[in-house]
Structure 1
Amino acid sequence: MDKNLVGERGESIFNTRITEYEIFQVYFLSAKAPVVDFLIEIADEATPFQCLIQVKSTTLGYLKRNGELRAKVPVDKMQKLINRPLPTYVAGVDITNEKVYICPAFNDVNAYTSSMPITHILDKQNAVATKQTLDLLKQDIIDYWSNSNINVYKANFRSKL
């Protein structure tokens, strides 16, 4: 399958899975965004916090030695994700089985240079695991922003415009 078609199909599957249970609003950033594919926002007026997600799609399946998804993030792209001031994640998409795996991209400890863990899944066939993963992602984003002091900073910021 053509590499671009794999990527587009993976983005489509990701968009479908991340919007289950109407927890998140999804904004596709298009191919013009060099580092991330989606801006995700919590669909809750009390906590409309955001994160960025890079989608990596594959038709290669899983590693035999540890079961991880054969999707990878180049080191330079991973570093650019880490450097973004928003919470950042990578979504590995198994095109064949239409499963999505969410992984954090916050520091160099999380290097997905050859494969991605399959711990946090979004899967149409497993509603319980999908809901748990979406709830964990939502809480992770809330925790990030709640500990950032952004409300204090923004209220005291003096724009020069």
Structure 2
Amino acid sequence: MRDTLGQRGEAIFTVLMTEFHDRSRPIFKPQFLGDKWQYVDFIVELVGTESIITYFFVQVKTTRTGYTKKLNRLKVKVPQDHIRGIAAYVAPTYIVGIDEVTEI
């Protein structure tokens, strides 16, 4: 179940990042890096920059437990060693929380 939940979160992230806005194409191009990367799941390129390639790394954390009542924060856990590992990248890095809720 854990791998399935993570895969669903990564798929939701890809769909959200590739939404069409005012332009005829998405503004982000995410590329899944596979399970071999320890701290990041995606490299995401900003589409449309001509002179330089602009990108950032993302680790996706998925949950079905919702939000805290007091502070309305998503209930995801990120181990301290992952935070240190992500911070070691010499590039912008983000941890993205996905609330995977199935409605029937």
* TM-score (norm: length of structure 1): 0.57
Distance 2:85 2:43 in 1: 15
| Residue-pair matches, total | 96
Query: What pairs with 1:29-108 in structure 2 (closer than 5 Å)?
Result: 29-46=33-50, 47-96=52-101
Matched, 1:25 2:10: no
Identity of aligned residues (%): 35
Q: Which runs of 5+ in 2 are unaligned?
A: 21-25
Distance 2:6 2:88 in 1: 23
Distance 2:19 2:96 in 1: 15
TM-superposed CA distance for 1:48, in Å, is: 2.7
Structure 1 ranges of 4+ moved more than 2 A: 45-48
Question: Partner amino acid for 2:12?
Answer: I
TM-superposed CA distance for 1:6, in Å, is: 0.6
Distance 1:93 1:84 in 2: 22
Give the 3-state SS of the residue equivalent to 2:56 in structure 1.
Answer: strand
Q: Which has the larger radius of gyration?
A: 1
Q: Deviations over 1:34-83 (max 9, x none)?
A: 11000000011325301000000000111111110001211100111011
Distance 1:25 1:65 in 2: 35
Aligned to 2:23: none
Question: Partner amino acid for 2:64?
Answer: T
Higher relative contact order (CA 8 A, sep 6+): 2
Distance 1:72 1:18 in 2: 22
> What is the RMSD of the two structures over their aligned residues, measured on CA atoms?
1.1
Question: Partner amino acid for 1:28?
Answer: F
Distance 1:19 1:86 in 2: 21
Aligned to 1:145: none
Query: What pairs with 1:101-120 in structure 2 (closer than 5 Å)?
Result: none
